[in-house]
């Protein structure tokens, strides 16, 4: 029984996204935007989509002292995650003047594996293979955008007047990266139209590339700039994607401003943290690259910040990256 327990802990350590430990060091950014950092507030809500009879829990990170409308980012967690994960991104982006809305996707969230014991791996595998979960994830995104825009118009809401409705981005990790690419134009085979034209740019971390997605043209219709992030050890704990294939969405894309970061030695959970092993020093080193790079990407593609654009696309980030990885850019960025 002891060996089974150890195996389960190892599997869940690789599968369940979690927030970075609150005692972890917070890296100082190499790229600093030309505006003060904001005080960050959070809001927990659970919305109900009556059309699908589905709840959508969210955690909203927002700049509490913002004086003007802010760009908004919708974030989608990986398989087995929750709205509480990826807090290092939500905190940083909100501190930089963005509203970061972290959706929890019921059916592929942490409820799938919690209390499942030795069946956790099988439960997660089943959730990932269920096409209903994939479709619901993609449909959760426009619903969340609609709800946020409604709050933006609602007097008395903490979000009232804070959202710039013309500056919306989308980001996600693993299954959340699939969700991200689906709503910006990836061909999914769904009979429903999943693309949301309100989304102007996206970040896809560890995007899944199953055999069906290796066909030419699957990602070619994506017309917004996407920042793809992965690592040399980014094999899927569940699924069939190997690290080398995670560049395929980038290779099939021709949209100017699309870019690809491959971090040397980074694994699948680098972008989310580890539930059982806790914070790792390598996470701090990688996040010291992920945070300023993502910040500059949002500033360049949503805010139209020329300084951020030049830093990201014209050598500033490559200088920071050094030998810790590779960075590729689609021409016109």
Convert the pLDDT of each residue in 98-134 to its tens digit.
999 999 999 999 999 998 888 998 999 999 999 999 9
Q: How confident is the model at residue 332 (pLDDT cuts 50, 70, 90)?
A: low
Reported as type and span, the H/E element at residue 265 is strand 259-267
Mean pLDDT in residue range 162-185? 97
User: Which region holds residue 185: left if phi is over 0, alpha if psi is between -120 and 50, else beta?
Assistant: left
Higher-confidence residue: 240 or 266? 266
Q: What does pLDDT average to over the chain?
A: 87
Q: What integer pLDDT is reported at residue 279 of this predicted model? A: 62
In this prediction, residue 32 carries a pLDDT of 64
| Cβ neighbours of 304 (radius 10 Å) | 10
**pLDDT tens digit sequence for 258-302:** 999 999 999 998 998 654 455 677 788 999 999 999 999 999 999
Q: How far apart are CA 109 and CA 102, in angstroms?
A: 12
Please write the tens of the pLDDT for every residue from 59-106: 999 999 998 999 999 999 999 999 999 999 999 999 999 999 999 999
How does residue 58 score in pLDDT terms, banded at 50, 70 and 90? very high
- Tell me: domain 40-329, CATH 3.40.50.1820, correct? yes
With 70 as the cut, is the pLDDT of residue 162 above it? Answer: yes
pTM exceeding the 0.85 threshold for the entire prediction: yes
3-class secondary structure, 254: coil
Buried b (16+ CB within 10 A) or exposed e, 200-217: bbbbbbbbbbeeebeeee
Which tokens is 320 given?
A: 């920071």
Category of 66 on φ-ψ map: left (φ > 0), alpha (ψ -120 to 50) or beta = beta
Instruction: Report domain extents, the chain.
Output: 40-329
Angle at 94 between CA 92 and CA 98, to 5 degrees: 120
From 25-29, 166-170, 177-181, 254-258, the region with the lowest mean pLDDT: 25-29
Query: Tokens 């700049």 belong to which residue?
Result: 63
pLDDT of residue 272: 86
Q: Give the pLDDT mean for 26-49.
A: 75
Q: Is the pLDDT of residue 190 over 50?
A: yes
Average pLDDT of the residues in 170-183: 97
What are the tokens at 102? 């972290």
């Amino acid at each position: 029984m002891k060996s089974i327990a150890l195996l389960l802990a190892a599997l869940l350590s690789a599968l369940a996204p979690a927030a970075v430990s609150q005692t972890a060091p917070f890296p100082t950014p190499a790229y600093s935007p030309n505006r003060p950092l904001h005080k960050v507030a959070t809001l927990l809500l659970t919305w109900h989509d009556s059309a699908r009879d589905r709840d959508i829990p969210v955690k909203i990170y927002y700049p509490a002292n913002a004086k003007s409308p802010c760009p908004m980012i919708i974030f989608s967690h990986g398989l087995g995650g929750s709205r509480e994960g990826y807090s290092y991104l939500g905190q940083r982006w909100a501190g930089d003047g963005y509203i970061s809305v972290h959706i929890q996707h019921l059916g592929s969230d942490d409820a799938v594996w919690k209390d499942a014991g030795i069946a956790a791996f099988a439960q997660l595998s089943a959730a990932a293979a269920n096409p209903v979960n994939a479709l619901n994830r993609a449909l959760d995104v426009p619903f969340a955008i609609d709800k946020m825009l409604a709050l933006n118009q609602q007097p008395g809401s903490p979000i009232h007047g804070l959202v710039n409705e013309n500056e919306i981005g989308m980001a996600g990790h693993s299954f959340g990266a699939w969700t991200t690419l689906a709503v910006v134009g990836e061909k999914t085979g769904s009979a429903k139209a999943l693309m949301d034209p309100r989304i102007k740019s996206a970040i896809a971390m560890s995007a899944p590339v199953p055999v069906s997605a290796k066909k030419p043209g699957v990602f070619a219709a994506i017309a917004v700039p996407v920042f793809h992030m992965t690592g040399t050890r980014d094999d899927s704990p569940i699924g069939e994607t190997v690290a080398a294939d995670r560049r395929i969405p980038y290779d099939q894309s021709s949209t100017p401003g699309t870019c690809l970061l491959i971090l040397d030695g980074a694994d699948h959970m680098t972008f989310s943290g580890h539930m059982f092993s806790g914070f790792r020093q390598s996470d701090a080193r990688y996040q010291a690259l992920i945070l300023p790079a993502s910040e500059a990407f949002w500033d360049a593609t949503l805010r139209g910040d020329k300084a951020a654009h030049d830093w990201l696309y014209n050598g500033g980030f490559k200088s920071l990256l050094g030998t810790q990885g590779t960075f590729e850019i689609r021409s016109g960025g």
